[in-house]
Amino acid sequence: MNKYNDNSDNCKSGDNRKPEAYDPTGDNCKPEACAPCGTPGITVKRRNLPHWHSERCIQFVTFHLADSLPAAVREDLQAMKDYFKKQNPEPWSEETKSRFNRMFPLIINNYLDAGYGSCCLKSADCSRIMKNALEYFDGERYLIHSYVIMPNHVHVLVELTGTHDLSQICKSWKNFSALQINRLLGNTGKLWHHESWDRIIRNEHHYNNVVAYIEKNINQGGVIWR
């Protein structure tokens, strides 16, 4: 059953709280070395963050509002990326790639947990729109194992079931919710940050870690969850 909480105090623009570091991936297995869910074929889609895709597997995905990372934080992250690349000239080993790919999603997630930006998803009306977007094709194009809508970001543990890959699914979630939320708030422009980040679930231990991470988010300010 979906739950509703009013956790607006957890979302303050410019809040300097630094949440405890936590790695939601919870598994050190290299993506290239694993065949998750018994599926041998994995492709990688890449913009700035890694996106691992495999048919009929369970994935953990996070996406966040466009204003949830302040400009100064975005600049710091870019500087960190540039420094990492300077210290580790390409071509990279698989170990270096893995280190780079794990480092920045974790840092971003810690900032998200600190509660920056407008946090419009703390609104019951906005969060219900997001809930409806997530659940619209649940059981048809995918199976949602668990999710939590936070004031400025969303975590979803989802199993792919057909020909739609996670990029297509996330795009539909974002497009539908952005149209409806902007209309509700009388806003125009970009609601969501262009990036999402995701991890294929490697094993039962990894799955349990992600479930525990979602539960932790629920306890720390979840608005709607299942």
Average confidence score pLDDT of the chain: 80
Among 32-41, 84-93, 102-111, 177-186, where is mean pLDDT lowest?
32-41
- 3-state secondary structure at position 54: coil
Segment 25-49 shows an average pLDDT of 43
pLDDT of residue 16: 39
- 3-state secondary structure at position 187: coil
The domain segmentation of the chain, as residue ranges, is 8-13+36-225
pLDDT at 110 over 90: no
pLDDT at 127 over 70: yes
Selected residue with higher pLDDT from 183 and 105: 183
pLDDT of residue 147: 97
pLDDT of residue 53: 55
pLDDT at 8 over 50: no
pLDDT of residue 26: 56
Phi, psi of 97 (to 5 degrees): -60, -45
pTM higher than the cut 0.85: no
pLDDT of residue 106: 75
Please list, in sequence order, all residues whose beta carbon lies within 8 angstroms of the beta carbon of residue 215, skipping any fewer than 6 positions away: none
Torsion on CA atoms 180, 105, 68, 181, rounded to nearest 10? 0
User: For residue 51, which of 160, 150, 167, 129 has the smallest C-alpha distance?
Assistant: 167
End-to-end CA distance of the chain: 6
pLDDT-derived band at 36, boundaries 50, 70, 90: very low
Selected residue with higher pLDDT from 102 and 45: 102
Alpha-carbon span 25 to 41, nearest angstrom: 20
Residue positions counted in the chain: 226
Q: Topology of domain 8-13+36-225, per CATH?
A: Alpha-Beta Plaits (3.30.70)
Segment 166-181 shows an average pLDDT of 96
Segment 114-134 shows an average pLDDT of 95
Strand order in 58-65's β-sheet?
192-200, 58-65, 153-160, 142-149, 224-225
Write out pLDDT tens, residues 201-218: 888 998 999 999 999 999
